[in-house]
Structure formats: C-alpha cells, structure tokens
C-alpha cells in the first residue's frame, strides 16, 4: 500500500514558499516545508524554491547547508526540482549587476541578464517543449507564469550514451532562454508552476508521478 509521495520543500529562508507547498499538495503530494536534514534526504522528492538575487539565495543555501543536502540527494539519484532562482543556482555561476557568484555547479554555464527592452520578464508566456519531456506531458501548448530578469541562455552540458539526453524546454523573451531542464533526477523550471494555474498543477503532478509512493 502506498501513500501520497512525500515532497520536502527546502526551507532555507527564501520567501514566498507557502504557495509552492499548497500547489504541490493540490498536485497530489504530501508536501512539507522543512529544513530537517533527515526529512530532506529521505523524502521522495525535494523542491528547491528561490526568489530574489542569485547571491542572496546561494548565501542562504550555504548558511543552512542546503547546498550539501541537494548534492547528497543527487549523488544518490534522488529527485530534485528547482524553481526560478532555485533553477538558476544549479548552474556554475550567476552574474547580476556586476556581482559574480559561484553556484551549485550541477550544470555548466552562467546565468546572466536577459537581453530584452523591458525587465523583468513578468507574466504569461509560451514555451517550446523539449523532446522526451515528462514534465510537460499533456500541457505542451499551455502558458506559464514568469517573473525574472536573469536566466541561463545556453546549455553547455554534453551527455554521452548510455545516459539519456536532457529534455530542454526554451522560452523566448528578447532572445531564447532555458525555461525548464529535465536531466536525470534533477529537474528545474525558470517559471513558477505554483503561479501557473491548472497547467502548473499538472506539471507538478507529472513530476510527482515519477517519484513513487511511500510504503506504509
């Protein structure tokens, strides 16, 4: 017998996380906001939210040892989902207004400012879903809600067989940028699923569906 998959939402001081918890619960998870190391490591899935500046998020992650917990989960092949700045910090570096900050380094590349006449990129936008995507199954033509001025605008990781190629989903605002990445146990979205209505709930449900349940 299985229960709803347990999803830990990493509590490291990032604001505006309760809407993510509620959205995950609506999508079918037993979602809990927590900084407890045991729960973070043992949960079926981990969500890493993030709002604000790249450096502030990295400082908060390191202060709470969230960076170590994320690395530990991924080393064991345990699913992690980053959202907004929680996606950005998965890359090697972020450069914001002259401030160059080391990221988690799970993916190569630098997060930089969007090349667009109006910033931030705020509101609904369509995406070009990557081949083999599981996150976007059934919602390939929906719109999602973005609020950001920075993003990863290149994908530099080369994945060789027998490992599967990542599913890369792009969005265009001024120029193309990565809207989502699905790379083994590590997935991330630049947009906010929790603010994206029914499509966002479906995306979270798709992710949760790949986690399995907890044995009772």
Catalytic residues: 84, 192, 194
Name residues whose C-beta falls within 8 Å of residue 76's C-beta, 6 or more positions apart in sequence: none
Query: Angle formed by the axes of helices 197-209 and 18-26, to 10°?
Result: 70
Q: CA-CA distances (angstroms) from residue 62 to 89, 102, 154, 173, 174?
A: 12, 11, 25, 31, 33
H-only helix segments in the chain: 18-26, 37-42, 54-63, 66-75, 85-88, 197-209
């Amino acid at each position: 017998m299985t229960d709803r998959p347990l999803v830990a939402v990493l509590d490291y001081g990032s604001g505006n996380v309760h809407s993510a918890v509620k959205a995950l619960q609506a999508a079918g998870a037993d979602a809990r906001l927590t900084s407890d190391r045991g729960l973070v490591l043992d949960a079926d899935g981990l969500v890493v939210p993030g709002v604000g500046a790249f450096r502030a998020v990295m400082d908060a992650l390191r202060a709470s040892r969230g960076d170590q917990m994320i690395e530990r989960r991924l080393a064991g092949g345990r699913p992690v989902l980053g959202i907004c700045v929680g996606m950005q910090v998965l890359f090697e570096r972020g450069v914001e207004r002259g401030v160059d900050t080391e990221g988690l380094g799970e993916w190569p590349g630098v997060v930089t400012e969007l090349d667009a006449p109006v910033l931030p990129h705020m509101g609904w936008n369509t995406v070009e879903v990557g081949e083999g995507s599981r996150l976007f199954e059934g919602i390939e033509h929906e719109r999602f809600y973005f609020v950001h001025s920075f993003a990863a605008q290149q994908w530099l990781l080369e994945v060789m067989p027998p490992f599967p190629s990542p599913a890369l989903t792009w969005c265009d605002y001024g120029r193309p940028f990565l809207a989502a990445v699905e790379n083994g146990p590590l997935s991330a979205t630049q947009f906010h699923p929790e603010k994206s209505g029914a499509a966002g709930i479906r995306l979270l449900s798709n992710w949760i569906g790949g986690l399995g349940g907890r044995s009772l």
